[in-house]
Amino acid sequence: MVDYYDDENMMTIVDYSVSRTPEDINHPNVDKSIQLSPTPVKKTEEIVEESIFVTTRQGPFRIKAGELVEVLNVIEGGELVSIEVVTDNPYLATFLQMDDYRNKEQIGITAAELLMRGRDEYSEREFYVEDRRPDGMYVVKYHPRRPDEYKDTIKIHVRNEIRRTNQVFGLLENQSYVSRGGLPSPQNLGFLGGGYVTDPAIAAPEGITQYLGEMLANPINADPYNVNIPNMAVRKNALLDLGAAHPFVGEAGRCTFVQAPTTSAVTVKFGEPGVKVTDTTGSAAVNTHRWPGHVLGDSNFTSEQQIIIYAGRAEAESTILNMLDTTSGGLPDERQRLWIRHGDTVYFPGIVTHWERLNTVSGEFVATGPGHNPDSGQPKGAILLTVSPGLPFKPGTIYIEDSQSDSLLGSIGSISNANTTPEIIVKEITVRRRRKRHLVG
C-alpha cells in the first residue's frame, strides 16, 4: 500500500483493517461501498473464483411499520437468477441493488404500483407482480431470461413504510391520504367505512366476534374489504405516484371488534342515505350530501345515514331497551367506529356522529351515551345513531337475538382500535443467484 503523509492536502487515509468477507458484511463497522478488489488487500485474504448456485430463503415473518429486513447484502461477483417475494400486502417495498443499479431509488418497488402500471405479466429485466391470490397473497417477481451479472455488490431488502392510522373502517378528515417514505398513494381510500364484506367463514353464530378480526385480516377464498371512496390527495397533486388497492389489507388492517351484549332480541333498521329514519321530536338532522360526501377547500361535507335500534321485533320506539349502550363497552360513542353483522356479511357504516336515545316519558330523542351523562333514572327507549359516511344503500332489517342463543345470526358493536403499528406478513422471500467470485480470509 502506498505510504500516506500527515497532510490534509495530500491524500485520504484508507483503513483496510476492516474485514470484508461475506460472512460478516453486516457488521456495523463494515464499509459496504468498498468494491471487490481484483487482488487481495491483506495477506490473509484470498479471492476465490468459483461457480456455485446459491438459494437464499427467508420467512414467514412479520415486519412492523418503519422496519427494514435485509435479505442479502454481500460483496461478491456473480449472476442474479431470480427474486420472488410473497406477502399479504401490496405496499411492501422490495429494494434491489446490483453494483450501481437500483430498481427504484429510496425504498424500492411495490406490488401496488406494478398493478397500477398493469405490469402483471412477465417483463424482461423488470419487476412484475401476480395479483392477489385466493390465499390473500401478492407475489412480486424478478426473473430475467438470462441471469443479470454483477461484479462487486448485491443488496436486497424489504421495507414496511405504511403510515399508522386509527381510522380503518372509519372516516378521514378531508378524505385525504398521502403515503410516506416514497410509497405510492392509493387511488381510492378503500379502507374507510362506507362498505361491507361478505365471507362464508363469518356466518357461524357462536364465538364469531372473537375471531372476526382474524377472519377479516386473513380472508381466504373471499374478496378483501375495499370501498370506492376517492383519495382527494391524488386529485389535488398530479405528481403523486399511484398504487392499486390500499395499504390496510391483510395483517395491516387488523382491528379489534367488541360486541354489544343483549339479553333480549333487538331490531336494527337502516334509513335511506341522507334521509331521516324517524320524525320523532328531538331526532338529529342528517346530512343530505351524496355518498361519500365531497371536499371543498378545507371543509369536509361528508354524507350521513341513520340507524335505529328497537327492543324486540315490533319496531316500537317507546319499548324499553335497557341494554346496548356505550357504558357496557359495546356500542361506540360519538366519533367512534361501528360494525353490524348479518349472517356472513359485516357492514361498516363509519363513525357515529350523533348518539341519541328516546326518553319514554317525554317521548323525545335526547343526546345520551357517556359523553352526555344522562340521568340514569330516565326510561330508555329506542337508540338512534347517525353515522358518517354511512352506506351508499339501505340494507335490509337485521334481527339480533339473545346473545346467549344458538340462533344468533346478527350482532352489533364497536371497533375498539385499529392496528396503530400496521404489520405486514411476508410468507417467503426466495433469491437465486450464481456466485462466481468472493473474498475470504
- Reading the block at residue 308, the C-alpha cell is 335505529
- Reading the block at residue 42, the C-alpha cell is 491483506
CA 434/CA 51 separation, integer angstroms? 6
Higher pLDDT, 230 or 42: 230
Q: Is the pLDDT of residue 404 over 60?
A: no
**Of 50-54, 270-274, 419-423, where does mean pLDDT reach its minimum?**
419-423
CA 212/CA 203 separation, integer angstroms? 10
CA 140/CA 112 separation, integer angstroms? 10
Residue 392 · residue 286 · CB < 8 Å = no
pLDDT tens by residue, 350-359: 999 999 988 8
* pLDDT of 352: 94
In degrees and rounded to multiples of 5, residue 326 shows phi and psi of -75, -20
pTM above 0.85, yes or no: no
Q: Is the pLDDT of residue 2 over 80?
A: no
Residue 120 · residue 128 · CB < 8 Å = yes
* pLDDT of 60: 94
Q: What percent of the chain has pLDDT over 90?
A: 43
Burial class (CB in 10 A: 0-12, 13-18, 19+), 198: middle
**Of 86-95, 148-157, 243-252, 416-425, where does mean pLDDT reach its minimum?**
416-425
Residue 155 · residue 95 · CB < 8 Å = yes
CA 346/CA 185 separation, integer angstroms? 27
CA 194/CA 339 separation, integer angstroms? 10
Assign 310 a pLDDT band (cuts: 50, 70, 90).
Answer: very high
* pLDDT of 199: 84
Which residues make beta-bridge pairs with 139? 86, 130
Domain residue spans in the chain? Answer: 22-160+424-440, 173-418
pLDDT tens by residue, 316-331: 888 888 766 655 567 8
In whole angstroms, how far apart are CA 151 and each of 51, 75, 260? 14, 9, 63
Which whole number is the average pLDDT over 216-244? 88
In degrees and rounded to multiples of 5, residue 380 shows phi and psi of -115, 125
Q: Is the pLDDT of residue 29 over 70?
A: no
The answer for residues whose C-beta is within 8 angstroms of residue 351's C-beta and 6 or more apart is 170, 171, 193, 332, 335, 336, 337, 338, 387, 388
pLDDT tens by residue, 247-269: 999 899 888 888 887 767 889 99
CA 232/CA 174 separation, integer angstroms? 7
CA 374/CA 367 separation, integer angstroms? 8
**Of 100-114, 155-169, 309-323, where does mean pLDDT reach its minimum?**
309-323
The CATH number, out of the four listed (3.40.50, 2.60.120, 2.70.98, 2.10.10), of the domain defined by the range 22-160+424-440: 2.60.120
CA 342/CA 346 separation, integer angstroms? 6
- Reading the block at residue 77, the C-alpha cell is 461477483
Q: Is the pLDDT of residue 204 over 70?
A: no
Burial class (CB in 10 A: 0-12, 13-18, 19+), 388: buried
Burial class (CB in 10 A: 0-12, 13-18, 19+), 261: middle
Q: Is the dihedral of CA 356, 357, 361, 363 positive or negative?
A: positive
CA 317/CA 192 separation, integer angstroms? 31
Residue count (the chain): 441
**Alpha carbons within 13 A on the beta-carbon side of 192:** 24
Which whole number is the average pLDDT over 210-227? 82
Residue 66 · residue 160 · CB < 8 Å = yes
Q: What is the CA radius of gyration of the chain?
A: 29
- From the list 140, 142, 161, the residue with the least C-alpha distance to 85 is 140
**Of 126-130, 368-372, 390-394, where does mean pLDDT reach its minimum?**
368-372
